[in-house]
A = this chain, B = another copy of it.
């Protein structure tokens, strides 16, 4: 058995990466979810240790100093970070991990983890993206405006990813992510060390 694959699911807010990630995990029980630390307040329904590890700012800064994050970032005044040890241990045990993260975080991880699979979740259109952000109803007007203006810039970042998956329907997007993982496991550079027949020749 080879090492697991780190799948980084990213995209602009409102693209639907959270919904897709949840639906993906329901259909792929053996894939582990990477849970991030954040200093932002929980949204309604969010559970500590499930959606995030909700962390006090002081504790978060201590973890930064101790180099315990794969990446961390300050987004709209809140810290977000991916704890390093969980990801590494899980991959070494042969399990795949999916990590849902904003574009800034994804590109930071890509610098240190180029072996990961970086998937950009693409909204069908900018209009659709805007209505999804409004529909969420959890943002102040100021935050909404900030997100609108950065959406277009974030979509341009897609070219830095390995794949883009159009979120036309959640089911289509999840199926494509499943295919991407299957294909990645067939990539010659991932299998050459543990395909039995290659050891015979």
**Residues of chain A having any CB pair with chain B under 8 Å:** 119-120, 122-126, 152-153, 155-156, 158-159, 161-166, 175-176, 178-180, 182-184, 186-188, 191-192, 195-198, 200-201
Contact = CB atoms under 8 A, between A and B. Distances in A.
Contacts of A196: 124-125
> Looking at A126, A159, A179, A187, which has the most chain B CB atoms within 10 Å of its CB?
A179
A163 B183 contact: yes
B180 A163 contact: no
Q: Which secondary structure dominates where chain A touches chain B? A: helix
Contacts of A175: 182
Contacts of A195: 122, 164, 166
Contacts of A126: 197, 200-201
Contacts of A125: 196-197, 200
